[in-house]
Structure 1
Amino acid sequence: MAATKIGDVRAKSADELSTMLLDLRKEQFNLRFQRATGQLEALSRIKQVRRDIARVKTIIGERARASAPQA
């Protein structure tokens, strides 16, 4: 599975982003578990998932700041 493009993330709705974030966190947990038990073959996938999580959280944060009232 390739890394997520930022344009693809921006095109998603808030519900889709939260679902995507949940799925990525589950995948991250499973990858860490596989790594600890010595079953992980693609170590680079951990880095990809971590960056995908950061991308999703960045877009969620941008949207929250954009919708917040200006003080």
Structure 2
Amino acid sequence: MAEMKVEDIRAMSDDQREDAILNLKKERFNLRFQRATGQLENTSRMREARRDIARIKTIAAQQRAKKK
């Protein structure tokens, strides 16, 4: 999974953003296990997933503030 684009995240509905966060959290969980067992090949994906989660949460907060 590649880094998520801001435009794509802004186009998502609230439910889609929640699903994306949930999927990224599951991916991070699996990546942690791969790292612990020495099977993780792309170590930078952990950082990307963490930043994607933060990016989605930030945009969601901005859009909530905009609605008020």
The alignment's TM-score, normalised by the length of structure 2, stands at 0.91
Moved more, 57-66 or 19-28: 57-66
Distance 2:67 2:13 in 1: 14
Distance 2:66 2:36 in 1: 40
Partner of 2:35: 35
Structure 1: segments with no counterpart, 5+ residues: none
Structure 1 runs (4+) greater than 4 angstroms displaced:
none
Instruction: Give the secondary-structure state (helix, strand or coil) at the position aligned to 1:47.
Output: helix
Instruction: Give the secondary-structure state (helix, strand or coil) at the position aligned to 2:48.
Output: helix
Distance 2:39 2:65 in 1: 41
The Cα shift of 1:63 comes to: 1.8
The alignment's TM-score, normalised by the length of structure 1, stands at 0.88
Rg (Cα) greater in structure: 1
Residues 1:20 and 2:20 are matched in the alignment: yes
Partner of 2:50: 50
Structure 2: segments with no counterpart, 5+ residues: none
Instruction: Give the secondary-structure state (helix, strand or coil) at the position aligned to 1:7.
Output: helix
Residues 1:61 and 2:58 are matched in the alignment: no
